[in-house]
Structure 1
């Protein structure tokens, strides 16, 4: 916590925050970036309500796919047509290592 708030000056735990892209989907803001020196990729998913960030989800060294949920009440079976991929992280594949993948449904 001290590192995140800037109260700690221990350089061994510092990482560079270099945002590479910013995308919005309604009230959801997706920011992707990296720390080139440590080969760390990160994705933030912020929920914004009335101009204030009300929720933050943070993913490190994880390939993230954002999908928009459809209306499952129209069909008894949910297919990929109901959950189209609207965004995929790009930097995680460039860090030179295998990373887990997650799906964020909005």
Structure 2
């Protein structure tokens, strides 16, 4: 409970710092979070109750967005998997990367 409260507090402080920094900078290309949230509400969540408050713009953008996300995932997964497999098959590369990869592994099992 204390950890969740601390994490939430850190998140709130970071958003407040972001808000203050962007308001002081007054850069039109980096709006404050309050402006982003109000614009997001107007664009996506101000529709009728029958569609779950989604606007026409939000409904029209859901499938293209999911398609681009799947395409990006596939475009990164296949080359990454193939190059990782090739890297692991080479003895010299495996020797080099073993120390780095083993240092990233946890020393004991997490208590979940």
TM range (shorter): under 0.3
**Higher relative contact order, chain-length normalized (CA < 8 Å, sep 6+):** 1
Higher Cα Rg: structure 1 or 2? 2
Q: TM-score, normalised by structure 1?
A: 0.20
Structure showing the higher strand proportion among its residues: 1
Q: TM-score, normalised by structure 2?
A: 0.19
